[in-house]
Amino acid sequence: MERKKKDNNKLQVVKKSSILDQIDYWQLRKMIAKIIPRMTQLKGSNREGEIVREKGRKKNYQQFNLMHSEWRKQERLLNTKEINSFLEISVRAAACPMPFNMDIWDGLTCPYNCIYCFANAFRASLYTAFFDNSKTMGFRHCNSDYYKKEIDKMLSTRDWTMDKKQSLSGIQKAFALDIPVRLGIRFEDFLHTERKEGVSLQMLQYLKDIQYPVMINTKSDVPSDDKYLKALSENKAGAAVHVTLISSNETILKKLEPGAPSYAKRLAAIKKLCDSGIRVVARIEPYLFLITDDPDDMEKYMTEVWEAGVRHITLDTYSYTANNSGIRQIFMNEGYDYDRLFLAGADSQPLGSLLLGKFMELFQNFGFHCSTFDMGNTGINNDSICCEVGDWFKGGYNYGSTVMASRFIRSRQKQPTSWKNFEIYVEMNGGFLTETLKMEVKELWNLEGNMAYSHRWAPGIAPMGMDEDGIIWMYDEDLPDYRIELLKSII
């Protein structure tokens, strides 16, 4: 298939300030590399990186029971075989258009052992702090029969009128609105043990049978097995697979993701998925400054991923949550300058956003359709949904989120936009998923709460007044880009 240059038909591209228009990624990369100093020493220590800090609990703790005149061992035991959970609305729903998650597999640690990932540290710390038997835990999974039974109870809500759906809340509302359900958000749902147990497969087959939209996040090649391909490709509501693939360099990937399938294996899986008519989105998350951005590696990546059938890519910067001394040490042990990549790509949100935007432009110029969750680059996103599935699924999305707020404000150009304007827009598209979520988004609208997820980061959006609900916003493409202003002040 012939490549097309810059397909920006989904969203109007923001008018860039002159300095950003005059430089490409490689010039910006060189500029910021001069600003951010190198570490003076990368190696020289045999210290191990210990990102998993187990808090531990008191052992052999007993309490005397007066009624029975005996000592009883006090333990809090984790169910090591089954996940006692159900569908959930993500804690990041205030920012995310697709916050509807299904946990299928879980474990104390993920065997892929990606050195940039902080999830292993979080899980191990949590489980060892609250449960006495967490170290006996291998992999555990959901009770698929329970999941199906509970979902069956909600099936009729999908046929309700929009007015009636508005009366629902949380999981029930997300399901009624056909917001695509995501697998693999907290843990890899397609490890080798899944091939034997087939729990994720059962849920994919069930979602196919009820025609409910599904999106998978994975590094695994398991979804390309014939049984999984059938369940995904025959889902009339649509299925998409996000395959995390951050580089084409096998040597680098072996250091960064030592337990994950190779680049070649993932590329082969991608081709099978694409050939079966499934939307495959290559996922470059995290983008790692000065590590996964070698020009030759990127040319190989773009050429081979395109030839495999991929037309969509989603990208994001490194998460600030990864600010962990153990992760830092592991990067150093592999010879990587963690401080430099973290300072440029995560700690400095404006610089990281600039780099990511120019990095994404390289893929867009090649012909890919690209989007990112990064607020600073909403103007150059090709899709209104940063997961690059806005045209793929026909159901609903979480319009009551800050990502959607930034796009709504932009769409009104120089018209003042009040909270009431946005609230009406959200209600027309299904409403806020919960009242609590509505309050959280309103706080962010008014520059309160966790500002890391505020629409205020989007260039060209600025406050221009107040009313009874708080700040009135306006988009003006001629406003200075705060990211450029920061870069100019430094250089």
- Quick: pLDDT tens for 25-51: 999 999 999 988 887 665 545 565 555
> In terms of DSSP bridges, do strands 181-183 and 461-467 run parallel, antiparallel, or are they unpaired?
unpaired
Region 392-416 average pLDDT: 95
Quick check: is 457 in a domain? yes
Per the model's pLDDT, the better-predicted residue between 148 and 61 turns out to be 148
For residue 333, give every residue at least 6 positions away whose Cβ sits within 8 Å of its Cβ, in sequence order, or none: 43, 45, 47, 48, 49
Q: What is the pLDDT of residue 5?
A: 47
Is 402 inside any structural domain? yes
* Other beta carbons less than 10 A from residue 156's beta carbon: 9
pLDDT at 14 over 60: no
Which pLDDT does position 133 carry in this prediction?
58
pLDDT at 37: 84
Examine the pLDDT at 18 and tell me if it is beyond 60.
Answer: no
**How many domains, in total, are found in the chain?**
1
Q: Specify if 29 maps to a domain.
A: no
Q: Is residue 413 part of a domain?
A: yes
Answer whether 369's CB lies under 8 Å from 382's CB.
yes
Out of 94-103, 228-237, 312-321, 430-439, pick the least confident: 312-321
Q: Is the pLDDT of residue 290 over 70?
A: yes
Question: Angle between the 402-411 and 435-445 helix axes, to the nearest 10 degrees?
Answer: 60
Domain that residue 403 falls in: 396-490
Taking residues 109-137, report their average pLDDT: 74
Between 41 and 291, whose confidence is greater? 291
**Residue 77 is assigned to a structural domain of this protein:** no
pLDDT tops 70 at residue 366: yes
pTM of this structure: 0.88
Sorted by sequence, the CB contacts under 8 Å of residue 306 that are 6+ apart come out as 3, 366, 367, 368
Residue 9 pLDDT class (50, 70, 90 cuts): very low
Three-state SS at 257: coil
Is-cis flag, bond preceding 286, omega within 30? yes
Does residue 466 lie in a domain region? Answer: yes
Q: Is residue 31 part of a domain?
A: no
In a domain, 405, yes or no: yes
